[in-house]
Chains A and B, each alone.
Chain A
Amino acid sequence: MNENIRVGVFVCDCGSNIAGIVNVPEVVEYTKGLKHVAFADEGKWSCSVDYLAKMKELIKENDLNRVVIASCTPRTHEPLFKRTVKEAGVNPYLLEFVSIREQVSWVHRADPSKATEKVKDLVRMGVAKAVLLEEGEEIRLSVKTDCLVIGGGMAGMTAALNIADQGFHAILVEKESRLGGLLNRLSVVCHDHVKLEAAEIVKAKVALVESHQNIKVYTNAEIEAVEGYIGNYKVTLKANGSNETFDASTVIVATGMQEIEPVGQFQYGSDPRVVTQVQLEGLLRGDEVGQVKDVVIVNCVNSKNESRGCCTIGCSVSVKNALALKMLNKDIRVDILYRDLSMVREEGSDLETAKRAGVKFIRFPDDRYPEVTKEDGNLGVRVYDILLGKEFTLPSDLVVLTTGFKGDDTCEAIKGHLKVSTNPDGFFQEAHIKLGPLDFPSDGISLCGCARSPKNLKDSCEEGAGAAMRASIPMKRGYLEAEGIVADIDLDVCNSCGLCAKNCPYGAIKWEDEKPNVIKALCKGCGLCAADCPKNAISIIHYSDEQILAQVDAALEERPEEKIIGFVCHWCALGGVDMAGVSRLQYPTNARLIRVMCSARVAIKFIERAFELGAAGVLVAGCEFPTCHYITGNYAAEERIKRAKKRLARKGYDPEKLWNVWCSAADGPKFANTMRDMVKELGLE
């Protein structure tokens, strides 16, 4: 390191919040004596506008090139201080944040002297890391404005139109000979008493799509290959017998769904009078229902059992089609056999209309399904009515089965091309079921419509527009930007084992010329790859092995036997630590916490180093399952902790001194209790 390192340390009083407990002047004096520290100052309110201005002056005046802020929590204030040091001409990656309010003064109120000692340790750890920090920068990957939309149903067409209306280019690929998807096979769609012909809806939408100058439509087309990543996809298409290759920057998956045929059940397949809902729609559409008199609709066929869930739309489809039959001829008898009627707001009003029109609803038990019978060629449905408490047979000349759905057949192939996953029902798995419903874990690929799960027209169109928005953001900006906390692989050390590429939850490590290549803009910096790399070839910028080990070393410089080294993830675990602080939960002062982005970053060697230096215990704290900001990092961490315990035992350390806690950001009590328990169990009281 040739550079002349000049660290500036700013310790905040936070009024009396920190200074009321911690002897801040003493900490500042102590800090001035640390190696590489060129300047240290006490600020009454470091985050106030006037002090931030002063801080900038001090950084320049003292020619500082590393900054340590010891104050509240990085979860809320790090962006502010990053901006400040940047404005002072220091690369924001050369800032280290030390939390001494939530981790010290608010939680160790009864023992100011121990609190002050802890702050000194934390600042020393911060300085040790700061000395090793390197400049970083946000990484940009250029993204152009062409979007591949796979699937030409209503969701896909809506997405393509939204993309194209921005002046971007949409390439819409449909496997069938015409656009429209499932809607091509339906008769009418209803919403809140409004009824529209499916064919009319499709016709209007297709006209918009086909006349749009920014949309290129391929029908009878199949995706042969998709290579690359956001901004750099190479797509090979087989359309009308010939192959075509083009570039795309983003991808929207809208491959839809298909009905599961109940072959061999309820006489389906053997008697033409037993049909599925989609087949009934076809009959209604073509006016081919004929002179039926008694229709029995059986809901939840192959749904809500051990292997499949609720099909979501079956109840409203059955009511809609029952009404359609009644419209055709009010004298047709229609019975709907159901388990639960799963109808929401506007669907509920259709239910009432159906009841008024004379459609009968009969509830059967979950474990006693109706049976389709045949006597002298006459069909019947034998059903046990829960409310009447008896069984009877309904004569029937048309039995309609409301069956479940699965993802489209092309799903498997697409899954391979895009390296994304599906659930057992063949529907694509989104990045996060609550907060990332239209995204895949890999940037640049969005998901919408029935390819995600069964849904009605309205929801499909909403998802189409929503997925278009998700895909448009990088296209509009012209780039994808990632924080500079990313993996960096030393290819001279790498032995091409492939573990990193296999384990990366974001597909950010591509295999090129027998070697891994980190697409930095896709990397989220969780550190899972680095912690597991058998050759130690991977470093995480801003959370390198050297930096974290320097923090461990600094923490254990004095009286290591009293100290607990805690590795806490930035998201939930640190949230729990902060929550304990905000709630002023008091716990012992032994912990020295080291922040990592994800618990998956914690390599076994960090834990070992702590024990080698005589630490009383080590804690690994991550998000509470199943939450993880990096999808599955905490699961990886849990596995690794098991391995670490074995390795510790082999090396003669007590594995029981390695603890872990999975803590939600709301659970201050859990963190505080863990600290108390650890101190007790480790005999530190």
Chain B
Amino acid sequence: MSDAILIIGGGIAGINAALNAGDYGCKVYLIDDTASIGGMMARLDKTFPTNDCSICIESPLMYEVDNHPNIEILTNTEVRRVKKENGTFTVRLLKKAKFIDEERCTGCGSCVEACPVSVPDELDGKIGGMRKLIFMPFPQAVPNVSVIDPRCRYGKMRELGACVGGCVVDCSQCRECPIALCVKACKEEGKDAVVLWQADRPMDIEIKSIIVATGIRSAEPDTGLYGYNIYGNVITYIQFERLMNAGGPTAGEIIRPSDKKHAQKIAWIQCAGRGLTKGLPYCSKVCCMVATKQTIITKEHDASTETLVFYNDLKAYGKGFWGFYQKAIENGVRYIRARPYDVSEDPKTKNLTIRYEDLDTAEIEEVEVELLVLSTGLVPSERNKRLAKVLKIELDNLGFFKEKDPMLAPLETGVEGIYVCGGATGPIDISESVVQASAASMKAVLK
């Protein structure tokens, strides 16, 4: 019987589960359907309640996974089919083409410099982050290799000025390319690692257990919610996190999208989009502390910046969280118990006026700010549905993976040998994800 373990999702939960199981002595396949492991944590600036820099504490673990003799990382990889027989799972994986020879690419970035087309980055686009059509997922990416936007091939990005724009041959038909600048740049470097004609590669593995660690994502607000997507200076908390990040699109400058000026007065609206006629019917647990962290860091950048947090129930539920909130108050952050009902923009200054009822005083008030951050909460990963079907396990009514018996057998699913941890189970913070990853890996190796 196989002794190997498959971990689906390479965020902080998956990484921890992999390191535990790998250190224990099991062969581990750690797969992620994006181009790098690291997950959401790799893109955050700081972590509450200590303000540890996120990538500083995560990247050593990413390198450790990368160099671990028992762990095989497969990025851009999806689970296609799972068959269980006599306690062993046979899994068909599909490694989707990065159009890069991962063995040859050294992550030098020459191809990226050569690429003539920039497009808005998926995560950072709203706040001005751009990437090339061939790009490094992020500077500390593991594996540290480039990846090509599949839309770039076969002239599909012609209007944007893609170098292969005029070509009428499907990239998959060729075995060399005289046009593409990335191919040329890589050849000049002597590597020849760009393979525009690379095909997806199926792969079959046999394993004894599976850990689902597909993570979580920040909810995208509906257009119009407090002016989101209508007014330029209304952004989400994950976008704000990227603004604060020295490794983000603004090199850590907290500047507002409309005029690239430093925002001197910033408001956060907690529970944005929650509990109204539609939207999230639950508390996402982390947003209060995320906002608290963001206000503290904002004050660290510039102590004179005014920060206001509109909240309803303050969730300071974990170890050290209350002290963290107290620190924010000491630093001059204003917490206002209120649910704002309207936001409007001054067309000239692009400032935003927030109208709200102060629950403590029952007065209707208004305040003008330069940047508005919406704490929109956490929602299940969009992969969950398909994956649940492939794995034949259940989702709950919200779209998170269902535990068979949360109280007596936490993290176990309806299928013996499949376990779940981290954001796949619901809104959760990093520390709880790490705990669950340890527990899930215990169950997975014991199977």
Cα–Cα distance between A572 and B54 once the two chains are bound (Å): 11
Chain B: which residue is nearest A196 at the CB level?
Answer: B407
Cα–Cα distance between A438 and B190 once the two chains are bound (Å): 47
Specify which chain B residues have a CB less than 8 angstroms from the CB of A343 in the assembled complex.
Answer: 283, 313
Specify which chain A residues have a CB less than 8 angstroms from the CB of B106 in the assembled complex.
Answer: 14-15, 45, 47-48, 72
Closest approach, in angstroms, between the C-beta of B404 and any C-beta of chain A? 12
Of listed B54, B246, B323, residue having the most chain A CB within 10 A: B246
Query: When the two chains form their complex, are residues A348 and B283 in contact, meaning their CB atoms are under 8 A apart?
Result: yes
Asked if A345 meets B427 with Cβ closer than 8 Å, knowing A466-B435, A668-B247, A670-B246, the reply is yes
Query: When the two chains form their complex, are residues B20 and A666 in contact, meaning their CB atoms are under 8 A apart?
Result: no
Q: Does B229 contact A (CB under 8 A)?
A: no
Which of B16, B60, B282 has a CB less than 8 Å from the CB of A345?
Answer: B282
Closest approach, in angstroms, between the C-beta of B215 and any C-beta of chain A? 16
Of listed B16, B56, B247, residue having the most chain A CB within 10 A: B56
Asked if A15 meets B108 with Cβ closer than 8 Å, knowing A435-B434, A627-B52, A666-B55, the reply is yes
Q: Does A331 contact B (CB under 8 A)?
A: no
Query: When the two chains form their complex, are residues B252 and A340 in contact, meaning their CB atoms are under 8 A apart?
Result: no
Specify which chain A residues have a CB less than 8 angstroms from the CB of B59 in the assembled complex.
Answer: 75, 575, 665
Q: Does A166 contact B (CB under 8 A)?
A: yes
Hey, what's the 0/1 contact readout for A316-344 against B, CB within 8 Å counting as 1?
A: 00000000000000000000000011111
Q: Does A382 contact B (CB under 8 A)?
A: no
Which of A16, A340, A467, A582 has a CB less than 8 Å from the CB of B438?
Answer: A467
Specify which chain A residues have a CB less than 8 angstroms from the CB of B318 in the assembled complex.
Answer: 310, 312, 453
- B residues 302-358 in Cβ contact with A at 8 Å: 313-323
Cα–Cα distance between A467 and B362 once the two chains are bound (Å): 48
Query: When the two chains form their complex, are residues A344 and B282 in contact, meaning their CB atoms are under 8 A apart?
Result: yes
Specify which chain B residues have a CB less than 8 angstroms from the CB of A14 in the assembled complex.
Answer: 106, 108
Specify which chain B residues have a CB less than 8 angstroms from the CB of A15 in the assembled complex.
Answer: 106, 108, 110, 188-191
Specify which chain A residues have a CB less than 8 angstroms from the CB of B442 in the assembled complex.
Answer: 162, 465-466, 468-469, 472
Q: Does B439 contact A (CB under 8 A)?
A: yes
Q: Does A293 contact B (CB under 8 A)?
A: no
Specify which chain B residues have a CB less than 8 angstroms from the CB of A571 in the assembled complex.
Answer: 56, 60
Q: Does A182 contact B (CB under 8 A)?
A: no
Query: When the two chains form their complex, are residues B191 and A45 in contact, meaning their CB atoms are under 8 A apart?
Result: yes
Which of A304, A473, A624 has a CB less than 8 Å from the CB of B322?
Answer: A304
Chain A: which residue is nearest B441 at the CB level?
Answer: A469
Cα–Cα distance between A624 and B252 once the two chains are bound (Å): 15
Which of A45, A72, A348, A464 has a CB less than 8 Å from the CB of B282?
Answer: A348
Cα–Cα distance between A191 and B409 once the two chains are bound (Å): 12
Q: Does B408 contact A (CB under 8 A)?
A: yes
Q: Does A147 contact B (CB under 8 A)?
A: no
Cα–Cα distance between A308 and B323 once the two chains are bound (Å): 8
Query: When the two chains form their complex, are residues B252 and A189 in contact, meaning their CB atoms are under 8 A apart?
Result: no
Query: When the two chains form their complex, are residues B50 and A466 in contact, meaning their CB atoms are under 8 A apart?
Result: no
Query: When the two chains form their complex, are residues A345 and B407 in contact, meaning their CB atoms are under 8 A apart?
Result: no
Query: When the two chains form their complex, are residues B285 and A344 in contact, meaning their CB atoms are under 8 A apart?
Result: yes
Chain A: interface residue total (CB-CB under 8 A): 87
Hey, what's the 0/1 contact readout for A191-211 against B, CB within 8 Å counting as 1?
A: 110101000010010000000
Cα–Cα distance between A343 and B275 once the two chains are bound (Å): 13
Which of B20, B52, B406 has a CB less than 8 Å from the CB of A192?
Answer: B406
Specify which chain A residues have a CB less than 8 angstroms from the CB of B51 in the assembled complex.
Answer: 626
Of listed B54, B139, B426, B445, residue having the most chain A CB within 10 A: B139
Specify which chain A residues have a CB less than 8 angstroms from the CB of B251 in the assembled complex.
Answer: 583, 669
Hey, what's the 0/1 contact readout for B228-245 against A, CB within 8 Å counting as 1?
A: 000000000000000001
Query: When the two chains form their complex, are residues B281 and A348 in contact, meaning their CB atoms are under 8 A apart?
Result: yes
Binds B, one of A25-33, A277-285, A426-434, A507-515: A426-434
Binds B, one of A221-229, A455-463, A519-527: A455-463
Which of A308, A342, A473 has a CB less than 8 Å from the CB of B24?
Answer: A473
Specify which chain B residues have a CB less than 8 angstroms from the CB of A458 in the assembled complex.
Answer: 406-407, 410
Cα–Cα distance between A343 and B288 once the two chains are bound (Å): 13
Which of A191, A310, A665, A669 has a CB less than 8 Å from the CB of B321?
Answer: A310
Of listed B23, B110, B427, B439, residue having the most chain A CB within 10 A: B439
Q: Does A657 contact B (CB under 8 A)?
A: no
Cα–Cα distance between A277 and B350 once the two chains are bound (Å): 51
Q: Does A84 contact B (CB under 8 A)?
A: no
Cα–Cα distance between A310 and B315 once the two chains are bound (Å): 9
Chain B: which residue is nearest A15 at the CB level?
Answer: B189
Cα–Cα distance between A16 and B441 once the two chains are bound (Å): 44
Closest approach, in angstroms, between the C-beta of B149 and any C-beta of chain A? 20
Specify which chain B residues have a CB less than 8 angstroms from the CB of A191 in the assembled complex.
Answer: 406-407
Asked if A340 meets B314 with Cβ closer than 8 Å, knowing A45-B191, A165-B446, A389-B362, the reply is yes
Closest approach, in angstroms, between the C-beta of A201 and any C-beta of chain B? 7
Q: Does A452 contact B (CB under 8 A)?
A: yes
Q: Does A623 contact B (CB under 8 A)?
A: yes
Query: When the two chains form their complex, are residues A627 and B56 in contact, meaning their CB atoms are under 8 A apart?
Result: yes
Specify which chain A residues have a CB less than 8 angstroms from the CB of B314 in the assembled complex.
Answer: 340, 342
Query: When the two chains form their complex, are residues A49 and B103 in contact, meaning their CB atoms are under 8 A apart?
Result: yes
Query: When the two chains form their complex, are residues B49 and A433 in contact, meaning their CB atoms are under 8 A apart?
Result: yes
Chain A: which residue is nearest B17 at the CB level?
Answer: A469
Closest approach, in angstroms, between the C-beta of B443 and any C-beta of chain A? 7
Q: Does A309 contact B (CB under 8 A)?
A: yes
Closest approach, in angstroms, between the C-beta of B285 and any C-beta of chain A? 5
Closest approach, in angstroms, between the C-beta of B81 and any C-beta of chain A? 29
Which of A204, A348, A387, A669 has a CB less than 8 Å from the CB of B359?
Answer: A387
Hey, what's the 0/1 contact readout for B375-406 against A, CB within 8 Å counting as 1?
A: 00000000000000000000000100000001
Asked if A45 meets B63 with Cβ closer than 8 Å, knowing A344-B285, A387-B359, A463-B439, the reply is no
Asked if A457 meets B56 with Cβ closer than 8 Å, knowing A344-B282, A434-B431, A666-B246, the reply is no
Asked if A310 meets B322 with Cβ closer than 8 Å, knowing A14-B106, A189-B407, A465-B443, the reply is yes
Closest approach, in angstroms, between the C-beta of A187 and any C-beta of chain B? 14
Q: Does B130 contact A (CB under 8 A)?
A: no
Cα–Cα distance between A472 and B445 once the two chains are bound (Å): 11
Cα–Cα distance between A434 and B317 once the two chains are bound (Å): 15
Specify which chain B residues have a CB less than 8 angstroms from the CB of A312 in the assembled complex.
Answer: 317-318
Query: When the two chains form their complex, are residues A16 and B63 in contact, meaning their CB atoms are under 8 A apart?
Result: no
Closest approach, in angstroms, between the C-beta of A16 and any C-beta of chain B? 6
Specify which chain B residues have a CB less than 8 angstroms from the CB of A47 in the assembled complex.
Answer: 106
Query: When the two chains form their complex, are residues B24 and A469 in contact, meaning their CB atoms are under 8 A apart?
Result: yes
Query: When the two chains form their complex, are residues B319 and A469 in contact, meaning their CB atoms are under 8 A apart?
Result: no
Specify which chain A residues have a CB less than 8 angstroms from the CB of B23 in the assembled complex.
Answer: 473, 477
Closest approach, in angstroms, between the C-beta of A667 and any C-beta of chain B? 4
Asked if A629 meets B60 with Cβ closer than 8 Å, knowing A16-B110, A45-B106, the reply is yes
Cα–Cα distance between A457 and B316 once the two chains are bound (Å): 20
Q: Does B159 contact A (CB under 8 A)?
A: no
Query: When the two chains form their complex, are residues B436 and A466 in contact, meaning their CB atoms are under 8 A apart?
Result: yes
Q: Does A17 contact B (CB under 8 A)?
A: yes
Query: When the two chains form their complex, are residues B320 and A433 in contact, meaning their CB atoms are under 8 A apart?
Result: yes
Cα–Cα distance between A427 and B319 once the two chains are bound (Å): 9
Q: Does B144 contact A (CB under 8 A)?
A: yes
Closest approach, in angstroms, between the C-beta of A298 and any C-beta of chain B? 17
Specify which chain B residues have a CB less than 8 angstroms from the CB of A437 in the assembled complex.
Answer: 431-432, 434-435
Pairs of residues from A and B, 5 with the lowest C-beta to C-beta distance, nearest first: A309-B322, A15-B189, A466-B438, A664-B53, A469-B442
- Residues on B lying within 8 angstroms of A by beta carbon are 12, 16, 20, 23-25, 45, 47, 49-61, 63, 67, 103-104, 106, 108-110, 139-140, 144, 188-191, 245-247, 251-252, 281-285, 313-323, 359-360, 362, 398, 406-408, 410-411, 426-427, 430-432, 434-439, 441-443, 445-446
- Beyond A80-B67, A667-B53, 16 additional pairs, beta carbon < 8 A: A48-B106, A309-B322, A343-B313, A344-B284, A344-B315, A345-B283, A386-B360, A434-B52, A434-B434, A437-B431, A437-B435, A458-B406, A462-B410, A624-B56, A626-B50, A669-B252
